[in-house]
Amino acid sequence: MEYPLKHLQVAPVSPRLTALASGCVEFIDIRARGMCMVRPGGGRVQSGNKLDYSVGLSRLCSVGDMVTLDQPLTTIHAANEADWDAAAAELLSAIKIGRLTDRLPAVYEKY
């Protein structure tokens, strides 16, 4: 979309989530990544729930990225500090930073 700020609301709280350690992003729990935005209104629990289009994530790190301590992992856009804190805690649990740097698997689980 061209000019997203022209069409979308801007979240009042949008600080970056930073890495707590240096290393390689070995794994991101994609389900947890999505679910962390449901409670603050970025997704629906029931079909009648209203979406808050200002809530979401941007500039998320990828598996295989090398990160340093305090380097931004993502920007969390939230309606208030409590929602930001909850999303940040869920995301920090969902992103595994370790020492693995070579030959990351293309598929992590087989269903």
d(CA 6, CA 4): 5
- Asked, for residue 56, whether it belongs to a domain, the answer is yes
Domain that holds residue 24: 4-98
- Asked, for residue 58, whether it belongs to a domain, the answer is yes
Residue 67: pLDDT band by 50, 70, 90 thresholds? very high
- Asked, for residue 49, whether it belongs to a domain, the answer is yes
d(CA 104, CA 111): 19
Question: Can you give the pTM of this predicted structure?
Answer: 0.80
Instruction: State pLDDT tens for residues 4-30.
Output: 667 778 888 999 999 999 999 999 999
d(CA 6, CA 90): 30
- Asked, for residue 83, whether it belongs to a domain, the answer is yes
Q: Please choose, from the candidates 43, 42, 39, 53, the residue with its C-alpha nearest in 3D space to the C-alpha of residue 90.
A: 39
Q: What is the CATH number of the domain that holds 82?
A: 3.90.1170.30
- Asked, for residue 67, whether it belongs to a domain, the answer is yes
Domain count, the chain: 1
Contact 39, 94 (CB under 8 A): no
- Asked, for residue 45, whether it belongs to a domain, the answer is yes
Higher pLDDT, 46 or 90: 90
d(CA 79, CA 57): 12
Q: Which two tokens stand for residue 3?
A: 């000019």
